[in-house]
Amino acid sequence: MEVISSYLPSAGIGYEFESIHLNPMTFLEMTQYVEGTKDISPIERYFYDIRMLTHEDANILNCYIMDIDFLIFYKKLISVSGNSSLTITIQCPTCGATLKKEINLDTDIHFENIDEKIMAGALVELGGKRYETRVPRVKDLLKVFDVFKRYSRVNDLKMMKTISLFKDFDTKSQQIEKDVLGATRGDITVLLALRDLYFDRIEPVKIFCPNCNKGKPIEERRSVAVSVDSLIVDFFPAVTLNNGLDGSKILFKQVS
Ligand SMILES: [Zn+2]
């Protein structure tokens, strides 16, 4: 299947390819996936997902990080569903009730509109130094991940994504790491603003608890927000729990 670049959270601005090629996982691939990700941390699983996508389309490496969560979600979705929807289960944080919701790609997954102006990068001041930022791509994040795995004590995906924003990471990795991890006051504000601009562009899915909202007018109803990046971490166990076998697929013979 082809995912057209302009449908991605980045709207494909600056891409040299028109689409990304992704296929549903086969039974063998899914079995290998479940085995291969059984005992690894959420961060390792994230990079496992990225590598899986890279095997199908090398342009994944040139995708912006802002698009990759959606692509991982999409890959998993088409692997389990033929109609671009799946049912998820969450617990209401207020009353503990189990909530089920069918999420549909077309009606429930929305991106914040991208402003073309931010796609050329920016100049920021951090730790008293001036840095140039870029719209980080998957290959940039992989480099940060490699360096962090080897040298750093920090195992935080958001920090790695933030550091990948800096254009000179290849030559000044230690200095950038120090200035980002050690940022204080105003510098923290700058980093948080950059995160807002370049990551997490998929709006959380809203789920309403019927218990907690019983009898309340629409404007007073409170929803539980579920983010797509939280959905992709434990995707397959949740999917097999919720999206049971279609009864028409197996016809049992009658015992005579
Ligand atoms: Zn509730």
Q: What SS3 string covers 192-234?
A: HHHHHHHCCCECCEEEECCCCCCCCCHHHCCEEEECHHHHHHC
- Two structure tokens written together for 90: 């969450």
> How much of the chain, in percent, has pLDDT values that exceed 90?
52
76 contacts 231 by C-beta, under 8 angstroms: no
Q: How far is the CA of 222 from the centre of ligand 1 (A)?
A: 9
Look at residue 226 in the predicted model and tell me its pLDDT. Answer: 86
Q: Tokens 């983010």 map to which residue? A: 227
Look at residue 200 in the predicted model and tell me its pLDDT. Answer: 82
Q: How far is the CA of 223 from the centre of ligand 1 (A)?
A: 9
219 contacts 100 by C-beta, under 8 angstroms: no
Q: How far is the CA of 93 from the centre of ligand 1 (A)?
A: 7
Look at residue 90 in the predicted model and tell me its pLDDT. Answer: 86
Q: How far is the CA of 50 from the centre of ligand 1 (A)?
A: 35
CA atoms within 13 A on the CB side of 232: 25
| pLDDT lower than 50: segments of the chain | none
Look at residue 240 in the predicted model and tell me its pLDDT. Answer: 64
Model pTM score: 0.86
Q: How far is the CA of 203 from the centre of ligand 1 (A)?
A: 21
77 contacts 105 by C-beta, under 8 angstroms: yes
Which runs of consecutive H residues, i.e. helices, occur in 6-63? 27-36, 42-56
Look at residue 161 in the predicted model and tell me its pLDDT. Answer: 95
203 contacts 112 by C-beta, under 8 angstroms: yes
pLDDT in tens, 151-196: 877 889 999 999 999 999 999 999 999 999 999 999 999 999 999 8
What gap in Å lies between CA 80 and CA 88, rounded to an integer?
A: 12
